[in-house]
Amino acid sequence: MLKNDLILRAARGEKTERTPVWLMRQAGRILPEYRAVRNSLSGFKELVETPELAAEVTIQPVDLLGVDAAIIFSDILVIPEAMGLTYEMVEKKGPHFPKTVKATSDIDALKVADPADLGYVYEAIQITKKELSGRVPLIGFAGAPWTIFSYMIEGGGSKTFSQARRLLYSEPAMADRLLDMITESTIGYLKQQVQAGADMLQVFDSWAGVLPPEHYSRFSLKYISKICDAITEVPITVFAKGAWWALSEMNDLKCRTVGLDWNMNPQEAREILPNKTLQGNLDPCALYGSNDLIKEETKKMLAAFGDHPHIANLGHGVYPDTDPDKVKYFIQSVKELSAH
């Protein structure tokens, strides 16, 4: 039994005694305790692939920051890896794929991921669940197919994603084939996360904002929709960064919650998505401000969501050089200002 199920009740659209709060990237570089674990290893990937340690850093923000949910420490790129395309994490630069998908023959060499290949993630979930012993829910996650596709084509992050976007125009059938494989891989993976104990799931579409609206519907939302249709066991949150114009289409997704980035207007989102819980959306840079400013901005954010079902969060991941005390102050402010 969960002692604190605020976030699950909010996701279901129920009234809660206060607004639940957690942060994207809460388990990570802002915490010295995380850095201590991370520095004892060869690198990020070893941490992701060592269940006991992944569980330890997943729980740190629950203990240290007082968040209302834990999110399993992992990476969205475990899916391409399980499909046969390995990645490496380059210090200070981010993910890099030594080999990318350039032609149909490269897709022929890939497979739909066998959920069994990602056993280390489920094991980390099981350990975390046991150690949390019902204090807060645990969120599982995956990348949206379009975002994963972008990395597999580009080989890393990009300002324009012109290689990945070019394919949508020049080889749409090839793009669909790869997107289908990613989607199928992701559904199997998320279902196993739920079986291992994840209480809710989030789909991260980090590169949603680079697509024109028509392509976003056709090559991203279509596949996110398949994921939402396939998973009925737990509430799902869809966070599509930069896709403000797609909010009305998200009404049709079978997800419970829609995440807003800091450029999106909560008042507008409430009108467009009357039946969804909304998540977000404080600007992560507000946490560089004074405590008074953080409190003021938090108050404004809460007022903008009003009495609409809401899960407080930042409008993107917390930035690595943010002072953990400021993060803690934001979390306390949400709790204090939203209690009724």
The set of residues, in sequence order, having a beta carbon less than 8 Å from that of 138 and lying 6+ positions away, is 58, 69, 70, 71, 72, 125, 128, 129, 132, 197, 198, 199
Q: Does 151 qualify as catalytic in the annotation?
A: yes
Query: Residues 36, 50: contact at Cβ < 8 Å?
Result: no
Angle (CA) 112-138-225 rounded to 5° is 45
Q: Which of 68, 75, 117, 199 is catalytic?
A: 75
Using the structure block, give the residue that is written with the tokens 């009495």: 307
Q: Does 38 qualify as catalytic in the annotation?
A: yes
Q: Does 169 qualify as catalytic in the annotation?
A: no
Q: How far apart are CA 91 and CA 119, in angstroms?
A: 25
Q: Which of 38, 135, 177, 218 is catalytic?
A: 38
> CA torsion 31→35→38→44, rounded to 10°?
70
Structure tokens of 102?
A: 């350039």
Using the structure block, give the residue that is written with the tokens 């390995």: 86
Residue 135's CB is within 10 A of a number of other CB atoms, namely 15
Q: Which of 29, 35, 135, 177 is catalytic?
A: 29
* Count of CA atoms in the C-beta half-sphere (13 A) of 100: 16
Q: How far apart are CA 170 and CA 189, in angstroms?
A: 30
Q: Does 25 qualify as catalytic in the annotation?
A: yes
Q: Which of 151, 189, 216, 329 is catalytic?
A: 151
Q: How far apart are CA 149 and CA 223, in angstroms?
A: 11
| Kind and range of the H or E run holding 49 | none
Q: Which of 18, 25, 135, 218 is catalytic?
A: 25
Which residues are annotated as catalytic?
25, 29, 38, 75, 151
